[in-house]
Structure 1
Amino acid sequence: MAMPPRKALMMSAPSAGRPSGLPRHALWRSAAALVLATLVALPFAVLYRAAVSPSLGASWRWQTSLPSAVSSEEEEGDDLDTEDLKLERVLKKASMGDNTVMLTTLNAAWASPGSVIDLFIDSFHSGVRTSLLLKHLVIVAFDWNAYEQCVKIHSYCFALGTEGVDFSEEKRFLTSGYLEMMWRRPDFLRLVLEKGYNFIFSDADIMWFRNPFPHFYPDVDFQIACDHYVGNATDLRNIANGGFSYVKSNERNIEFYSFWYSSRLRYPGYHDQDVFNAIKHDPYIVGIGLTIKFLSTKYFGGFCEPSRDLNEVCSLHYAC
């Protein structure tokens, strides 16, 4: 089906003010420990997001004397491969039978031993039917130090460098460096979709309690977590949180991610999550036939709206 021409965004920029199994007592003890550990680690962590610049061939290079970064599953002779082929290889090895992969992003500030990435991985080991999901997780590192730490703790790591940009240091909220990091994510995820892979994206400051698949909606293109859930999965008044999403590889989502990324130019100074909460109302989304549902905070909560029952929650975002 032919796609309609893109239309100008129809609304003004968002306001600047927004940025089963285990016993109940065991879950609460586990949750309390995770909260305490996370609150200790987070002050030293960097706020980050990711995607990739439009010209992959020009951007996936390291401005250092270090060897070219590669996936952790490299084989002899891989140094001659392009970053695109290395990404293809690691996605294939990590994918489920239906070509679904799990993705998170990482930079040096969240990669040190005992920090956020360790808590993230530990939550999979502690959760209900979540440990097996780790073999489908690809950690995307945005600097060399993060990549080196990743390969020590996980099987599937991919190093994504950007020429002339250092993403290893802390980027403060809504600074130019922060926004650049945030906006790299949608374009990178578009590339994953173009390669034919569905994905679950999770920020690294999300703790996993249960396998989420029983609570996903069937036959929906795009599903996303919320900071505020109004009680109806299709209601656009739900306030989305870009830190957790489940997205199918199809032409509608590829077109949507391109539209989302290009919309950054219409909303200068805003990050990807705020822009999503604006463009979700745009008639263009209806025009391409994209189906969107919002995930209930009963199962996919965060500090903005945490689940009231830890016997139900699948993931908990330790931020608001």
Structure 2
Amino acid sequence: MCGMWRTRSSVLILLFVALISLTCVILFYTASPNQLIKWLPAKSLSLGNSWARGIKLMKEYPELDSILQKADMGNKTVIITTLNYAWATPDSMIDLFLESFHTGEGTSRFLNNLVIVSLDQKAYNRCTSIHSHCFILKTKGIDFSGEKRFMTDDYLKMMWRRIEFLRAVLEMGYSFIFTDADIMWFRNPFDHLATDADFQIACDRYNGNPTDLNNAVNGGFNYVKSNDRTIQFYRYWYSSHKLYPGKHDQDVLNYIKHNEEIRKMGLSMRFLDTSYFGGFCEPRKDFTKICTMHANCCVGLKTKLHDLRLMLTDWKNFQSLAIQDRLLQEPLWRTPMQCKI
């Protein structure tokens, strides 16, 4: 009789716990329209309290998960760029950026995977009129709509806001290619990305060794896999800006990449060859190799626009050549031109 009473008590306790748990789930699910519950078991959220992190992400970035789902390549990978209204005005940076996808070799399909993150309302309004996947990333008390000159206070805030946002994307379980909007896409970059690296980043100058930490990194283009190591790394990267006031994310990364803390994370880092991921800092001449070209080592929107328009024209002229003519003559980039000044 006593054993039966214990059994019934145990059953009642289990039923009570199950009822309370179900009630909590229902209440939470009702308050979370983007179905945050499906994130909770994800490996990328295993750092810290996944439930609490999930709630925070939902509150800070409403609707983001649904946008990432639509842009997903099918393996929880997306392409992301960020811009403000100065770069989103008609016939400005965003138009050249999107044009490069259309004129590149097999790159137009990646537009379906591109999420344009707008840093102000006017940029978002323009984005929604020209592209399918747009997300607005507002920052309380700051208007990012105007041109932010390199290394000004608002420029630095914009760069660090970007790092903070990209960390959240990783925590949602999405890997990504991040690309600045002043990068032209001419070929499929995935063909030249390592499959065994956690974090791969472009270089201002490349010394020929993809694992050498002495390469000068450029934060305008990187491919990052979502896992515990990269989430921890992005948290460390973001928190490090307090140690280097007045420095932007790229400078800070160049400082911290040698740190023992990153080695202990087990992060696998690779540096991308400028023969394939080029830029104005170290322009390469071979049109047959180049995947992306960046208007780096160049300050000022008008200056960048001038040289990027020349670059697109040079690329189109190369494409117009017959195959045999491409072999007979060596095309040359006319850029950097104004960006040399």
TM-score, normalised to structure 2, is 0.70
Q: Does 1:153 align with 2:121?
A: no
* Aligned counterparts, 1:53-72, within 5 A: none
Q: What amino acid maps onto 2:176 in structure 1?
A: F
Q: In structure 1, what residue type is equivalent to 2:217? A: A
Query: Contact 1:234–1:292 (CA<8 Å) still a contact in 2?
Result: yes
Take 2:158 and 2:78, find their aligned partners in 1: how far apart are those partners?
22
The CA distance in 1 between the partners of 2:114 and 2:251, in whole Å, is 26
What amino acid is aligned across from residue 93 of structure 2 in structure 1? V
Matched, 1:177 2:154: yes
Secondary structure, aligned partner of 2:63: helix
Q: Equivalent residue of 1:123, what SS?
A: helix
- Two-structure CA RMSD over aligned residues (Å): 1.7
Name 1:277's counterpart in structure 2: 254
The structure where helix makes up a greater share of residues is: 2
- Number of residue pairs the alignment of both structures matches: 245
Hey, what does 1:194 align to over in structure 2?
171
Q: Which runs of 5+ in 2 are unaligned?
A: 1-52, 298-341
Residue aligned with 1:88, SS: helix
Deviation of the 1:276 alpha carbon: 0.3
Moved more, 121-130 or 169-178: 169-178
What does 1:237-316 align with in structure 2 at a 5 Å threshold? 237-316=214-293
Amino acid aligned to 2:247: Y
Provide the C-alpha distance between the structure 2 equivalents of 1:285 and 1:277, rounded to a whole number of angstroms. Answer: 12
**Aligned counterpart, 2:32:** none
Query: In the aligned structure 1, how far is the partner of 2:273 from the partner of 2:144?
Result: 32
The corresponding residue for 2:94 is 117
Matches within 5 A, 1:2-151: 84-151=61-128
Change (3 A) 1:263 1:239: same
- Aligned residue in 2 for 1:222: 199
Distance 2:233 2:109 in 1: 31
| 2:205/2:274 contact within 8 Å kept | yes
Q: Which residue of 2 aligns with 1:12?
A: none
Matching of residue 212 in structure 1 with residue 151 in structure 2:
no
Partner SS, residue 162 of structure 2: helix
Q: Distance in 2 between matches of 1:183 and 1:84?
A: 16
Residues 199-233 of structure 1, C-alpha deviations (whole Å, 9 max, x = no match): 00000000011011110001110000000000000
Q: Distance in 2 between matches of 1:243 and 1:144?
A: 23
Is 1:233 matched with 2:210?
A: yes
State the secondary structure of the residue aligned to 2:191.
helix
Runs of 4+ off more than 4 Å = 55-58
Q: State the alpha-carbon separation in 1 of the partners of residues 153 and 266 from structure 2.
A: 33
Larger Rg: 2
Q: Match for residue 39 of structure 1?
A: none
Q: CA deviation at 1:83?
A: 5.7
Gaps of 5+ in 1: 1-54, 61-80
Report if aligned partners of 2:80, 2:114 keep a CA contact under 8 Å in 1: yes
SS for the counterpart of 1:105 is strand
8 Å CA contact 2:204–2:296 kept in 1: the answer is no
Q: Tell me which of the two structures has the higher relative contact order, counting C-alpha pairs closer than 8 angstroms and 6 or more residues apart.
A: 1
Task: Provide the C-alpha distance between the structure 1 equivalents of 2:131 and 2:149, rounded to a whole number of angstroms.
Answer: 28
1:56 to partner: Cα distance: 11
TM-score when normalising by structure 1:
0.74
Q: After superposition, what is the alpha-carbon deviation per residue over 1:62-115, rounded to whole angstroms, capped at 9, x for unaligned? A: xxxxxxxxxxxxxxxxxxx95634001100110111100000001110111111
Deviations 1:8-53 (A, max 9, x none): xxxxxxxxxxxxxxxxxxxxxxxxxxxxxxxxxxxxxxxxxxxxxx
Structure 1 distance, partners of 2:100, 2:288, is 15
Is 1:300–1:307's contact at 8 Å kept on the other side of the alignment? no
**Which whole-Å CA distance do the structure 2 matches of 1:289 and 1:228 have between them?**
25
Cα distance in 2 for residues equivalent to 1:120 and 1:217: 25
* Change over 3 Å in CA distance of 1:83–1:151 after alignment to 2: farther
Deviation of 1:164 after TM superposition, in Å, equals 1.1
Letter in 2 for 1:254: I
Q: Deviations over 1:222-265 (max 9, x none)?
A: 00000000000000110000000000000000000000000001
